[in-house]
Amino acid sequence: MRAIEDLVPRVAVEARATSTALPPAATAEEVAEVEAVFGFALPPLLASLYREVANGGYGPDYQLLPLVGPGRTALSAYQSERSASAEGEAPYWPAGVLPILDWGCAMYAAVDCFSETAMVLLFDPNAMADEGAAAWFVDTGSLAEWLEAWLAGTGWYREDADECEDVAEPAPWEMAASRIAE
């Protein structure tokens, strides 16, 4: 829990410094309602971000999706992807993997709400051939690491990342096929 106590205030400072107009934070009731719809709890750090910083609107590049509210949200994106995955010939979206940021070109940063560390995954359907598992990559081992990379300006997505040797590219998510099959 100490990491959350230290990290959330630093994220809040950066969010205020880099976003022109942050939306109000989600209420505890809104977070609980969304968790009830999902059927699973948000990782504590992610819930704290939505409750204590803002309901999206900050973070790397395209910024975090709002959890709730009008328009496109993490809730609506999750429901849409899960529905499309279930209806398609080749399922591709595992339960408990919440899209939190739309990178564009149908790519998402998503948090594995079933992992103890809240692993951040990259969904890139452009890499998908015949099976949905090929579209999944590990961005970072935890949401805390992902946020630290954003705060430090060291994420793979930064503009000059291809010029830096210390930036690790996302690797295939080994558990993708088994999680999709669940």
| Tens digits of residue pLDDT in 70-123 | 999 999 999 999 999 999 888 899 999 999 999 988 899 999 999 999 999 999
Count of structural domains within the chain: 1
Of 92, 82, 112, 101, the residue nearest 157 (C-alpha)? 101
Examine the pLDDT at 167 and tell me if it is beyond 70. no
CB-based burial of residue 153 (10 Å sphere; 0-12 exposed, 13-18 middle, 19+ buried)? exposed
- At 165, is the pLDDT very low, low, confident or very high (cuts 50, 70, 90)? low
CATH number of residue 149's parent domain: 3.40.1580.10
Residue with tokens 């949401």: 143
pLDDT score recorded for residue 126: 83
Q: Is the pTM of this model over 0.85?
A: yes
Give CA–CA dist 135/125, Å, rounded.
Answer: 5
Examine the pLDDT at 132 and tell me if it is beyond 90. no
Ranges 99-108, 122-131, 139-148, 162-171: which has the least confidence: 162-171
Give CA–CA dist 32/27, Å, rounded.
Answer: 9
Give CA–CA dist 141/12, Å, rounded.
Answer: 22
**9-47 pLDDT, tens per residue?**
999 999 999 888 899 999 999 999 999 999 999 999 999
Domain of residue 27, residue span: 2-153+162-181
Examine the pLDDT at 157 and tell me if it is beyond 80. no
Average of per-residue pLDDT across 146-165: 74
pLDDT score recorded for residue 1: 47
Of 83, 80, 72, 67, the residue nearest 34 (C-alpha)? 67
